Chains A and B, each alone.
Chain A
Amino acid sequence: MGKSTELDVAYVSKLARLNLTDEETRLFEKQLADVLKYAEKLREVDVSHVEATAHAIPIFNVFREDEPRDWFTAEEALSNAPHKANQLFIVTKVVE
């Protein structure tokens, strides 16, 4: 398990596409260092013979027939869009 000081909040915020102020970055660095220090106790546990659990109850792949169903109209799907026109989501420019 990594050392708690390895959490570079400024770098992780870029991965998360989440801008932070300098003040937030400093505050989170300190607070999350405390959390990581607390969590160091997980290193004590012998997990060498344990399978990781993704879900507490075993659930396997669930399939359904791929059939058309009634669902949202375009208007309904766009009803909460921050920016829309011509029944389309308007997005920020992606290509130069």
Chain B
Amino acid sequence: MSRSDLPALTIADLQSLLRRKEISPREVIDALRTRIESVESKIDAYLSIDFEGAAKEADKADVDLPLGGVPIAIKDIINVKGQPCTCASKILANYRSPYDATVIQKLRAAGAIPFGKTNMDEFAMGSSTENSSVKVTRNPWDLSRVPGGSSGGSAAAVAADAAFGGLGTDTGGSIRQPASLSGVVGVKPSYGRVSRFGVTAFASSLDQVGPLTKTVRDSALIMNAMAGHDPQDSTSLNEPVPDYTKNLGRDLKGMRLGLPKEYMIEGIDPQVKSAVDVAIKQLQSLGAEIVDVSLPHTDYGIAVYYFLATAEASANLARFDGVRYGYRAKDPKDLLDHYGRTREEGFGAEVKRRIILGTYVLSSGYYDAYYVRAQKVRELIRQDFVKAFEKVDAIVSPTSPVPAFKLGERTADPLAMYLADIFTNTGNLAGICGISVPCGLAKANGNQLPIGLQILGKALDEACTFQIAHAYEQSTDWHKARPKL
């Protein structure tokens, strides 16, 4: 195998070569560096990269560890000791992490090398990565389109073979939606499955960290290393972590998959709909039984999500006060001026918009009408899933109603951008797990654009979604399709 072919490998295949000593971890880093240097000017997926540090870690890597010698790209909202952690915000432009997030400690213990930080919507607020204060990341399949977001840098890097795998965060779809739009696999673990310690908080009742990879197996490998209880995160669940690769390769006989009638909405792209219809037939041919289910409160998901996520964000982002870290406005005349200008000059437009909406829904006189009501409807959405999962093992749907949209197409209309998460955000509200797996290619202006199939599973039943996604993936060739860059 020539060195230039290495970056296209899956993590599982890379590990085989490493363990057979056919290549060294150092050669892997060098080959990845060459690939990144040739494509990064087109896609702009990374905010910072430490090749020298990665080379040093590669030289002492133990390839027999579960992810030994495997370089992983990290969304720039997750702290990696000594690296910048900007959240793609001006307010953290000069921030360097004094410690490793728990997920980074766990990846390192498994032998992985966190080598670079990827672009994102500022503080993970967005669905296109256009809200980055630093730069615009482009979709490797069509450079005039968005990679999705907010974990768009990790998605684009994996799609372009500029990363073997990446980490993202998913608050309303921010892993699954960019995975869908960029043609890779993306996993949102169940709430409490993965520690958020060292991950900058956006909406604490919704956020989860998860992998973006080329295959389902690669995501399962990263989840094996990353999942589990962390005393540093009091919301992480003290439940046993199964081996997520164990069910891979099992067929789907006896598996019942729910098809929610509420997901067949107007506005769904015809090419997305037909690709998902074909995928569902494929799942049937693999032995799964398709069952109609109803999630009657689906239509309220976006409204509930934007009240709760912005309310939580307005509280979480109060920590950016220009005192202990981050940007501080010059020569404040008093404390109010210090806070007001620090935050005005440090935050971008979407972050400001969400802080205003979140502060409003929590403010006196509106708290019950907006925030409490949204929490109650959230409970109804959660109960919808509980009832559906009494009948089925998992639920299938499109991940995104549309393929990748054009850069700039939705930036002027926040509501249109919010609707990008229509199939994904209820999974966060209900705390369940989900995965997006490539299931087709739409045609648009002579380009091919990836389509994603979402599989939602019960809380803590990631193993089931991996089994279904893997069986589907291995029976099709969509995961082998690569953009021409």
Verify B365–A2 contact, CB threshold 8 A: yes
A56 contacts B430, C-beta separation under 8 Å: yes
Determine the main DSSP class of A at the interface with B: loop
Q: Mark B231-255, 1 if CB is under 8 A from A, else 0.
A: 1001101000000000000000000
Q: Within B322-347, which residues are at the interface with A (CB < 8 Å)?
A: 322-328, 332, 334-336, 338-341, 343-344, 347
Residues facing B in A59-96 (CB within 8 A) are: 59, 62, 64, 72, 76-77, 79-83, 89, 91-94
Identify which of residues 351-398 in chain B touch chain A, using a CB-to-CB cut-off of 8 Å: 352-353, 355-357, 359-360, 363, 365-366, 369-370, 372-380, 382
CB <8 Å contact, B356 and A41: no
Please pick, from A12, A42, A62, A92, the residue contacting B373 in the complex, using a CB distance under 8 A.
Answer: A42
> For residue A43, which residues in chain B have a CB less than 8 angstroms away from its CB?
373
Q: Is B349's beta carbon under 8 Å from chain A?
A: yes
**Assembly CA distance A55 to B322 (angstroms):** 30
B405 at the interface (CB under 8 A from A): no
Inter-chain contact A50/B325, CB cutoff 8 Å: no
Q: Known contacts A12-B363, A56-B432; can you find 16 more A-B pairs with CB under 8 A?
A: A1-B370, A12-B359, A18-B343, A24-B349, A31-B414, A32-B360, A35-B418, A42-B307, A50-B377, A53-B379, A56-B382, A56-B429, A57-B237, A59-B237, A72-B99, A80-B326
What is the CB-to-nearest-CB distance from B252 to chain A, in angstroms, rounded to a whole number? 27
A5 CB–B CB distance under 8 Å: no
Residue of B nearest to A55 (CB): B205
Does A51 sit at the interface, judged by CB under 8 A?
A: yes
A-B contact pairs, 16 of them (CB 8 A): A2-B369, A2-B370, A7-B360, A18-B340, A18-B347, A24-B352, A35-B418, A38-B303, A39-B303, A41-B303, A56-B205, A80-B95, A80-B326, A89-B324, A92-B332, A94-B335
A17-B340 in contact (CB<8A): yes
Top 4 closest pairs, chain A to chain B, by CB: A56-B431, A80-B325, A52-B375, A82-B328
Contact with B along A21-56 (1 / 0, CB 8 A): 100100010011011001101110101001111111
Give CA–CA (A15, B315) in the complex, Å: 12
Expressed in whole angstroms, the minimum distance between the Cβ of B432 and any Cβ of chain A is 8
B430 CB contacts on chain A under 8 angstroms: 56
In the complex, B96 has a CB within 8 A of chain A = yes
State whether the Cβ of B186 lies closer than 8 Å to any Cβ in chain A.
no
B323 to A91, Cβ gap below 8 A? yes
Nearest residue (CB) in A for B192 is A57
CA of A1 to CA of B366, assembled, Å:
7
Cβ–Cβ contact B324 & A47, under 8 A = no
Q: For the complex, is B304 an interface residue (Cβ under 8 Å from A)?
A: yes
In the complex, which of the residues B359, B365, B380, B432 contacts A45, with contact meaning CB atoms closer than 8 Å?
A: B380
| Distance between B415 CB and nearest chain A CB, rounded to angstroms | 5
Across the interface, do A56 and B191 meet the contact criterion of CB distance under 8 Å?
yes
Given contacts A9-B356, A24-B352, A41-B299, are A79 and B339 in contact (CB under 8 A)? no
B182 contacts partner chain A, Cβ-Cβ < 8 Å: no
Whole-angstrom CA separation of A31 from B350 in the bound complex = 11
Q: Which A residues are CB-close (under 8 A) to B349?
A: 24
A81 CB contact (under 8 Å) in B314, B324, B377, B378: B324
Chain A residue numbers with a CB within 8 Å of B191 are 55-57
Q: Which residue of B lies closest to A44 (CB)?
A: B300
Is there an interface contact between A92 and B205, defined as CB atoms closer than 8 Å?
no
Taking CB atoms, residues of chain A closer than 8 Å to B306 are 35, 39
Q: Which of B327, B334, B347 has the most CB of A within 10 A?
A: B334
B95 partner residues in chain A, CB cutoff 8 A: 80
- Which residues of chain B have C-beta atoms less than 8 A from A92's C-beta? 332, 334-335, 338
Considering the chains assembled together, what is the distance between the CA atoms of A19 and B231 in angstroms?
Answer: 38
Whether B324 and A45, one on each chain, are in contact in the complex, defined by CB atoms closer than 8 angstroms, is no
The reply to whether A16 and B335 form a contact with Cβ atoms under 8 Å apart is no
Q: How far is the CA of A47 from the CA of B359 in the complex (A)?
A: 23
- For the complex formed, measure the closest distance between the CB of A83 and the CB atoms of chain B, giving whole angstroms: 6
- The CB with the most chain B CB atoms within 10 A, among A28, A54, A57, is that of A57
A56 and B95 CA atoms in complex are apart in Å by 32
Q: Is the CB of B415 within 8 A of A35?
A: yes
Chain B residue contacts of A52, Cβ below 8 A: 372, 375-376, 378-379
Cα separation A42 to B95 with both chains bound (whole Å): 40
Of the residues B322, B359, B431, B432, contact of A82 by C-beta under 8 Å: B322
